[in-house]
Structure 1
Amino acid sequence: MRPGAESVRRLRAAVGAVAILAGVAVPGRAVAEPSPAPAPATPVCELGDRRLAEISGMVATDDGFVMMNDGADDEARRRIFFLDSACAVARAVPYPSRPRDTEDLAVGADGTIWVGDIGDNDRTRQTIAVWRLAPGADRPVLYRMSYPDGAHDAEALLVTGDGRPVIVTKYSAVLYTPSTALRPGATVPLTRVGQVRLPATTTSNPFGGLGRSSVTGAATASDGRRVVLRTYADAFEFDVTGGDVITALTTGTPRITALPDEPQGESISYSRDGRSLFTVSEAAVAGTRPVILRYPLAEPAPAASPGAPTPSAGTADDRHRTAGRVGTAVVAAGGLGLAVLVGGLVVVTRSRRAGRR
């Protein structure tokens, strides 16, 4: 692509992100609160395989990890990589056709690996997709979907216990699920089912305020009782009751684990025992290789007794009106700064990727 066209494309992505943030994401953010004290991260292993150069999704398995890159120009990188516990690649499964922009991984209750082909920096895609790799299979199967309200950029994928994918958009944390069962060779409409209101934090990260609100990955605990969303700065863990992931995300209050100063954190997974979170950055510090990090999790607070009173959170409309008033003030005070942050993040992210290709 010519430099002029590239510049126009990046500018269009930045402007689109500003519009989304100003209209949807900012009103849902609470007033910033102090970040939690970060749990010490423990390095697990370094990724030495040069094919893993743009890691955008990861799940932990009983004997290692599964990873994939962001959509890569290099054909050798367009694989689903199975790693052992020392981060050595043991198997690499190719796609039967070229994916567009793979951004996250999830694992179903039956061990099926789901690849979220859901990235769309320019918001120009007519359809998005998921790839399903059944246990023991040597090729994933493609399923296409379409949004009901125009294109969105997304980097986070969850799968419910009954095998339903949940897509979380990057800048607005809106949730979409298929309206009917997925079918190979067909495009299934998506339905908007809610929006996540992540609390604001002050965790240090390379992208500042926008990095603390951009949803870049998601994961489900192996027992299905917890889900986590991550940004470039923090992990937000929600308790799930009765398998209802949507209600957990739209009404729950998350526990926060700070993930400070990861170079470009876009992947997250629970450990198989559910006691830790694993993360890995898409990019590494210059001259180094990406490293998987382990963050220990605090024990969830005990559940209230059945007869204990529960503070009222107000109706959904009350919460929406309150969030809207807060968001309006934030937008009025910081619109210009927000635009600069959005443009900077999008351009820097795309430039990093371009520089590696």
Structure 2
Amino acid sequence: MLVLLAPAPAPAYAHVPTQVSAAPTEVCRITDPAVTEVSGLAVTPTGYLVENDSNPDPAKTRVFTLDKACKVTGSIQYPRTARDPEDLAVDRKGTVWIADIGDNSPLTGGSGTRRSTIALWTMAAGSTQLKIHRLVYPDGVPRDAEALLIDGQGRPVIVTKDPNGEVFRLDTPLPTDNTEGAKLTRVGTFVPQRTGTSNPWGFLGVAWVTGAAVSADGTRAVVRTYADAYEFEVTGGDVAKAITTGRPTVTALPDEPQGEAIAYTADATGLLTVSDQNGPAVILRYASGLKPAPPSSAAPSATHAAAAPPKAPARSATRAPLLLGAFTVVALMLVAAVARRARKR
């Protein structure tokens, strides 16, 4: 039985800084046919890391290394089939993190079997081997998620895809090759704004969270929807606190076909995005809405941060926070299911 609930009021930001910037510039195009449906992106000194979230042949779902012209220079295969990898990050120690956290329900084009655990895959700097770490939500209820951030203490932070996305963090040691999932802690919610930015999913697209990133120096974090990028200043490495209680600067990412991946440039002056789609994927660069951070000797060098991977138009968003009732969300998810099923497992 479907129970329709009245929408709960979302917290309002007292002030939302905004920016007006030029249209994005094209950085390069990923034309290799092996790289399909890019949902995660990270920057390295020699180019980029990307991961695809699905492939007709599951064995071809991999992490790819690209040069600065977006040419594939190598790939890393999962030791066992990844279920639905959706985001990618490189932390300050050079460890690569892949968020195998997607879990599309039948409403959004997924299978009828939800996953009991989610997973993170890590690869230490200089290694070519991926290790798996299984996690579980504190109430045991499955959720679909596509956004991963790594905080200043090296803790993974996950934001669920649903409107007013829940924010979870792992506050216990990271287990490796475990069967029972390590329990996450719920630390708050990320609240998108009703920006009205044009995107393929309409007003629901401004609410679905599809990716996230932390700058190389750890002083800023960004969470994106299909329509917009929300940047936050991070204090003391506490990424979860920043994205749940901070005041964002919002940059519109209009009309990206299936905008999911996002990353900071090495100097954090720009935001890089790429759409999850078949065919050539274009990496776009937008200007960051935050002022440049002052130089800090504590920040890792670009060379160190990039050692991990092995070689192988903005608009104002000052409107009220998004309020979506359960009835509206379900109805639009049903409409989206047809399109989503054609491209997702």
TM-score normalised by the shorter chain: which range applies? 0.7 to 0.9
Matched, 1:69 2:78: no
Once the two structures are superposed, what CA deviation does each residue of 1:115-152 show, in whole Å capped at 9, x if it has no partner?
A: 00000012711100000011121111000011112111
Secondary structure in 2 aligned to 1:80? Answer: strand
Partner of 1:183: 175
What is the deviation of 1:36?
A: 5.9
Report what 2:75 is aligned to: 92
- Contact 1:39 1:257 (C-alpha < 8 Å) held by counterparts: no
Partner in structure 2 of residue 103 of structure 1:
86
Once residues 89 and 203 of structure 2 are traced to their aligned partners in structure 1, the CA distance between those partners, rounded to angstroms, is: 27
User: Which residue is 1:211 aligned to?
Assistant: 205
Contact kept in structure 2, 1:30 and 1:200, CA below 8 Å: no
- Give CA deviations for 1:287-326 in whole Å, capped at 9, x if unaligned: x5111000012343999xxxxxxxxxxxxxxxxxxx99x9
Q: 2:132 aligns with which of 139, 142, 147?
A: 142
In the superposition, the TM-score normalised over structure 1's length comes to 0.79
Deviation at 1:65, TM superposition (A): 0.4
Equivalent residue for 2:118, pick from 92, 117, 128: 128
Q: Which residue of 2 aligns with 1:340?
A: 331
Task: Please report how far the alpha carbon of residue 200 of structure 1 lies from its aligned counterpart in structure 2 after TM superposition.
Answer: 1.9
Contact 2:269 2:292 (8 Å CA) reproduced = no
1:57 pairs with one of 33, 37, 40: 40
Number of aligned positions between the proteins: 307
Contact kept, 8 Å, 1:36 with 1:258, in 2: the verdict is no
**1:162 aligned to which of 150, 153, 156:** 153
Q: Which residue does the alignment assign to 1:352?
A: 343
- SS of the residue corresponding to residue 279 of structure 1 reads strand
String of CA shifts for 1:21-78, please: whole Å, max 9, x gaps. Answer: x677x743769x9x96453100011111111111110011111000000133414532
Q: What is residue 310 of structure 2 aligned with on the other side?
A: none
List per-residue Cα deviations over 1:234-271 (Å, max 9, x = no partner).
00000001111121111111001110000000100000
Closer/same/farther in 2, CA of residues 125 and 299 from structure 1, 3 Å limit: closer
Q: d(CA) in 1 for partners of 2:26 and 2:129?
A: 32
Matched residue type, 1:58: L
After the TM superposition, which residues 41-52 of structure 1 pair with which residues of structure 2 at under 5 Å, given as runs? 41-52=24-35
Contact 1:38 1:258 in 2 (8 A): no
The yes-or-no answer on 1:255 pairing with 2:249 is: yes
Distance 1:296 1:180, change over 3 A: same
**SS of 1:115's equivalent?**
strand
Alignment partner, residue 311 of structure 1: none
For residues 182 and 336 of structure 1, the distance between their equivalents in structure 2, rounded to whole angstroms, comes to 37
- Does the aligned pair in 2 maintain the 1:54–1:282 contact within 8 Å? yes
- Going from structure 1 to structure 2, the CA distance change for 1:97 and 1:336 (only over 3 Å counts) comes to closer
**Unaligned regions of 5+ residues in structure 2, if any?**
106-112, 295-319
Structure 2 distance, partners of 1:181, 1:300, is: 34
2:187 partner amino acid: V
Aligned amino acid, residue 93 of structure 1: I
Q: Over alpha carbons, which structure has the higher Rg?
A: 1
Alignment partner, residue 288 of structure 2 = 297
* Cα distance change on mapping 1:133 and 1:202 into 2, 3 Å: same
How many Å separate the matches in 1 of 2:291 and 2:194? 20
* 3-state secondary structure, aligned to 2:254: coil
Match of 2:297 in 1: none
**Contact 2:151 2:157 (8 Å CA) reproduced:** yes
What is the rounded CA distance, in whole Å, between the counterparts of 1:74 and 1:256 in structure 2? 38
Residues 49, 89 of structure 1: 8 Å contact kept: yes
From the superposition, tell whether residues 45 and 29 of structure 1 become closer, same or farther in structure 2 (CA, over 3 Å): farther
Alignment of 1:5-20 (within 5 A): none
Q: Distance in 1 between matches of 2:220 and 2:80?
A: 34
Does residue 222 in structure 1 map to residue 216 in structure 2? yes
Q: Does the 8 A contact of 1:173 with 1:215 survive in 2? A: yes
Counterpart residue number, 1:274: 268
**Which range moves more in the overlay, 155-164 or 336-345?**
336-345
* CA spacing shift, 1:283–1:36, aligned 2, 3 Å: farther
**Please, which of 6, 10, 18 is the counterpart of residue 28 of structure 1?**
10
Measured after TM superposition, the shift of residue 163 of structure 1 is 1.3
Report the RMSD for the aligned CA atoms in angstroms: 2.8
Partner of 2:22: 39
How far apart are the structure 2 equivalents of 1:229 and 1:119?
16
Q: Which amino acid aligns with 1:119?
A: G
CA spacing shift, 1:182–1:28, aligned 2, 3 Å = same
**Partners of 2:41 and 2:165 in 1: CA distance:** 20
